Chains A and B, each alone.
Chain A
């Protein structure tokens, strides 16, 4: 009886959290559709405003950021278009359309930065992690965990030694896959939650060697540049450029992705 109660509790909790996700006001869906109409009609600035109203209510989705970025690009707001493409790509890291559009948009950015060459294995590893969003890895780790449980149960109940061996190794495999995908998922989630990258929004700023106005000026950066945020001190943050250079800028000169 205790078990049955536990099961029901689980289902109840699950459905409750899913309801929180799917319970979106109909009004927001309507304004999304309206934004799409405005975009199609060529009223890009108005479409961008409509999309922004949805994000300001605390909701997000890949499509919303992608459409908003398109509308901003068309109304010549390159910097914020890049910001929103990056946001969209955080939710769907491999979306080809968003990548293509970001590439197109980045051509209009002043600064041309060569990517720091990464060892082949590391690049492959990062690409592997980045190939799925956090929730997709979450599904992987859960499914493989359940598979582990099934194999383990079979291991327990199987009578012959051969079956026991087989199910044991399958269970070990499933459990290790579950661990690996869990770590991928948590990496992806930390990117999403920690907001440790940003886009420069000021027309041109000077990157300093230390977090103060008197610091040595290292580089001039222009708006639209994507950077990694590595540290924070007061209202100064340390940023890392794609070519590996690091320096300090005022936090107000960029927007976190």
Chain B
């Protein structure tokens, strides 16, 4: 030992001369076992990683100081890629023995390094009554048969910090190995898969360091193999399966009772399989959640931020919700934001960052909502309600973010072409379906089953129409018949009337009134033709009369004579100079033509 120390000192002197001494943070720590047996010897060590002075050590009156303080130093030096670094450590060592049972606190020690005071940690040492067979130190006398390890000497336990939790509330499962034997290593550790839980391991140092702890009044070397945060996903009684570890234990084997045995102990590696007892947790369900419950259980705070509030159409905006706190962070659902209906909204991007520790899962989770307002206008993005279950108050808590007013302006011309074509193609966004609204206009209520079609009035209209037509037809027929009668009568009377008028004319001839004579002759002829030919008198002219007479097969000589008489009359009416003889002659001629005409006309 002394030789080693000297070599170390030599090395130290050699190294101290080297440049590039890295200035490191000074740490000053105290190390001691947590549990000791009464009368047991144990070490109390202070170590500092720099050369210090003025070491002040705590009072150790509760213990017998068997040795010390003895100092030792060690230096390590490494050269990596041409960069050298070195470490130095000084340690001060005591060997102590407890005087009485109880808990004793060793106050921190102080040391001055480069003019600065450093204080070490304190330490509590529990002194328990010594067991019958000391586990360390002295001569180990195996009581068991070689090759097996008794259960009381080596076992594994799973500790849960809580046995009854709410769904989603965390608990810590710790796997510890308790040993009184010389553990050499582990071959295989099978951890139960925590079915019904979401598990998150708490990082532990790679090297499993054994610490002394009491369990059932006995001292064991205890190593923490694994610490896991568990978040129950189901309710009810959940049982966690057993932990199974294959350990390699070094056991002293005594071959024969030879005198050398004490000096040359032979050891054998024994494989021991240890299994923990299954443990169970009672998970109570959460009270009935309010709407919008995010699934978060623990204690949280929420903050929101927005990238822009005044944008142009189709510019992207991001709202970021930041949930910070302690709880089942990983299992929080993104809160729903009620965006205006015609925004283009993308699925939220989730980012989480947390650390697992004995206190639970601490950290934050952020949700980024990217969206594009498609049309200009003013919009309101309502506040987001984040609902979580508070494990302390056992109540639901709602945290609310700010609401945002967004002003969207019309897009600039450079992008409008694309935008417009996209807008034109957009389908109507259906928000829901419903039946169409009732009719509220004026209503005509009818007796049930009533139709005008087929009713009495309907058929009456047919009948009415038919009767009207029939009536019109019959009336017309009658009129035609009557008209025909009138014509026949007139025809019959025509010559009579004509003769009467001619007689009138002869009266005028005798009285010598010339003008009236000619008028009477003219009227007699026109009236006769009008009645005979059934032509209204107003429509008659000399040409028309001669045409009609020819049609009614009157000979042309008579027509000529008739025209001659008319001409003479008209001439004489305006220039009366004929004398009575001429008038007499005309009268004779007229009666003659009339009688021939009467015969010839058909």
Contact = CB atoms under 8 A, between A and B. Distances in A.
Interface stretch (B121-129, B460-468, B531-539): B460-468
Given A14-B461, A186-B454, A153 B469 contact: yes
Interface stretch (B236-244, B306-314, B438-446, B521-529): B438-446
B451 interface: yes
Nearest to B458: A138
Contact of B441 (A58, A63, A97): A63
B435 interface: yes
B440 A138 contact: no
Given A59-B446, A97-B436, A104-B435, A149 B453 contact: no
B473 interface: yes
B439 A149 contact: no
A59 B443 CA distance: 11
Nearest to A107: B433
Interface residues of B, number: 39
Nearest to B452: A135
A248 interface: no
Contacts of B449: 60, 192-193
A97 B440 CA distance: 13
A22 interface: yes
A70 to B, nearest CB: 5
Contacts of B441: 63
Contact of A134 (B434, B451, B471): B451
Given A17-B456, A138-B452, A70 B446 contact: no
Contacts of A14: 457, 460-461
Contacts, number: 125
Contacts of B23: none
B451 A192 contact: yes
B462 A61 contact: no
Contacts of A189: 451, 453-454
Contacts of A80: none
B457 A66 contact: no
Nearest to B440: A36
A234 B43 CA distance: 109
Interface in A155-172: 156-157
A60 B465 contact: no
Contacts of B209: none
Given A24-B445, A145-B465, A17 B436 contact: no
Contact of A67 (B438, B467, B468): B438
A28 interface: yes
Contact of B473 (A105, A156, A188): A156
A6 interface: yes
6 contacts: A7-B468, A10-B464, A60-B445, A61-B444, A97-B439, A156-B473
A175 to B, nearest CB: 12
B453 A28 contact: no
Interface string A1-19: 0010011001001100110
A69 B437 CA distance: 11
A29 interface: yes
B448 interface: yes
B445 A61 contact: yes
B476 interface: yes
B517 to A, nearest CB: 44
A100 B436 CA distance: 8
3 A-B pairs with least C-beta separation:
A138-B453, A67-B438, A63-B439
B445 A13 contact: no
Nearest to A62: B439
B446 A21 contact: yes
A3 to B, nearest CB: 4
A228 interface: no
- Residue of B451, B471, B476 ringed by the most chain A CB atoms within 10 A: B451
A145 B462 contact: yes
B451 A138 contact: yes
Contacts of A58: 447-448
Contacts of A66: 438-439
A104 B433 contact: yes
A49 to B, nearest CB: 15
Nearest to A47: B438
Given A13-B456, A17-B455, A135-B453, A70 B465 contact: no
Given A105-B435, A134-B453, A61 B446 contact: yes
